Amino acid sequence: MDLDLRDRVCVVTGSTAGIGLATARLLAAEGARVVVTGRDSERVDRAREEVGAALGVVADLAEPGAAEELIAAINGLGPVDCLVNNVGIAYQASFDELTDEQWDEMWQLNVMSFVRPTRAVLPSMRERGSGVIVNVSSTAGKRPSTGMPNYSVTKAAVLSLSRLVADLYAKDGIRCNAITPGPTGTGAWLDEGGLADQQARRSGNSREQVLESVAAGRPLGRLAEPDEIASVIAFLCSERASYVTGAAWSADGGTVPIII
């Protein structure tokens, strides 16, 4: 299926690994002019080469002003047609042990790093009367994870932000949607010290037992592959989804038992 993304300028934040990298790779394969971003210059360079991206930009979007610098850096490619907000972090913690600083840090990285790029691309999108924004939230935004309190709250905020932007700017031809993946086979879960190891330490189970339990908790019986999430994101970026806005698309193997 042709997604009609050829030559579209698509910015994917947090695209040096995991879902972001898979999304950038797929959009590039569809002919889009992809911009990859991240906080580490070496990882950005590797991602740009792997994806065949038009540009790689080092940016810490948790910092004020970074989003405007990112958009200014890609002006030579043309105005942004699609923005995929994917920056984020997750870790295991109990509600009563989280500090104010941890809440603040998570808010800046998981919410404001979506707000700032969105705000930066809106003027040109409104002027042209078109544009697409896709925000990567989580199942934890729909049903909070008790083991990841601050992550859950920030991902719920991403859902609210997505609906807000959709309502405000539909009249300008701008679509905004969210996607809510469940546990996915990326470094966030599988790397040494990642969520599987963290949960194993907190539960007293082995890493293998944790991964088996997490997989068994999905009706489809397994973790997602990054490309499976990227496929939904690419669809939402495309003209095939031209009448879809304000939605929170579950891509979680049936994890959250709701019908919206």
Residue 208 confidence (pLDDT): 94
Domain boundaries, the chain: 9-182+224-250, 183-223
Pick the residue with more confidence: 184 or 1? Answer: 184
Q: Answer yes or no: is pLDDT of 1 > 90.
A: no
Q: Answer yes or no: is pLDDT of 65 > 90.
A: yes
Residue 22 confidence (pLDDT): 98
Ramachandran angles phi, psi of 244, nearest 5°: -110, 115
For range 161-165, the mean pLDDT: 98
Under DSSP, the state recorded for 87 is: -
DSSP3 helix / strand / coil % (the chain, rounded to 5): 50, 15, 35
Under DSSP, the state recorded for 134 is: E
Residue 257 confidence (pLDDT): 82
- CA-wise closest residue to 234 among 76, 45, 8: 8
Tens digits of per-residue pLDDT, 106-122? 999 999 999 999 999 99
Q: Answer yes or no: is pLDDT of 105 > 90.
A: yes
| Lowest pLDDT segment from 56-60, 220-224, 254-258 | 254-258
For range 220-248, the mean pLDDT: 97
Q: Radius of gyration over alpha carbons of the chain, in Å?
A: 18
Confidence of residue 250 (pLDDT cuts 50, 70, 90): very high
CATH code matching the domain that covers 9-182+224-250, chosen among 3.40.50.1980, 3.40.50.150, 3.40.640.10, 3.40.50.720: 3.40.50.720
Residue 2 confidence (pLDDT): 82
Rounded to whole angstroms, the Cα distance separating 230 from 135 reads: 12
Task: Give the distance from CA 50 to its chain's centroid.
Answer: 19
Q: For the chain, how many residues are written? A: 260
- CA-wise closest residue to 132 among 54, 4, 241, 25: 241
Percent of the chain with pLDDT over 70: 99
Tens digits of per-residue pLDDT, 175-219? 999 999 999 999 999 999 999 999 999 999 999 999 999 999 999
Distances (CA, A) of 203 to 46, 146, 210, 222: 36, 13, 9, 20
Tell me if residue 243 is catalytic: no
Which two structure tokens, joined as six digits, stand for 146? Answer: 């008790």
Indicate the average pLDDT of the chain. 96
Which two structure tokens, joined as six digits, stand for 166? Answer: 């959709």
Residue 69 confidence (pLDDT): 96
Which two structure tokens, joined as six digits, stand for 253? Answer: 């193997």
Residue ranges in the chain assigned as alpha helix (H): 18-29, 41-51, 66-73, 100-107, 113-128, 139-142, 149-169, 187-190, 195-203, 207-216, 226-237
Residue 260 confidence (pLDDT): 61
Which two structure tokens, joined as six digits, stand for 12? Answer: 């994917």
Confidence of residue 259 (pLDDT cuts 50, 70, 90): low
Which two structure tokens, joined as six digits, stand for 48? Answer: 């740009």
Percent of the chain with pLDDT over 90: 96
Residue 258 confidence (pLDDT): 76
58 sits in which H/E element = strand 55-58
Q: Judge whether 121 and 127 are in contact, CB under 8 Å.
A: no
Residue 98 confidence (pLDDT): 97
